[in-house]
Amino acid sequence: MRVSADPGWTPPAQPVGPATGLRYGGFWIRTLAYLIDVLLLAIVMAVLAKLAGIGFYDSRCGTSP
């Protein structure tokens, strides 16, 4: 039986540290980005709800037939 020094697999890549030269946004720019994201998601969800026929914005909600 022949034994090889080659394990037959490649070892996993070494973890890489954080990127250098990047500057993270401050509190206010991140807050503004969050608010823009929420607004865009609300618009998309409203359109999808309307297309699906979900009556979130129906003026007849709560009235008897």
Residue 16 in domain: no
The answer to whether residue 37 sits within a structural domain is yes
Predicted local confidence at residue 34, as pLDDT: 98
Gap between the Cα atoms of 35 and 43, Å rounded: 12
**What's the domain range around 35?**
26-57
Reported pTM = 0.52
Asked if residue 13 is part of any domain, the answer here is: no
> Is 32 contained in some domain?
yes
How far is it, in rounded angstroms, from Cα 24 to Cα 18?
Answer: 12
**How many independent structural domains does the chain possess?**
1
Q: Is residue 42 in a domain?
A: yes
pLDDT band at 56 (very low <50, low <70, confident <90, very high): low
Closest alpha carbon to 25 in 36, 17, 15: 36
Helix intervals (H) in 1-65: 27-52
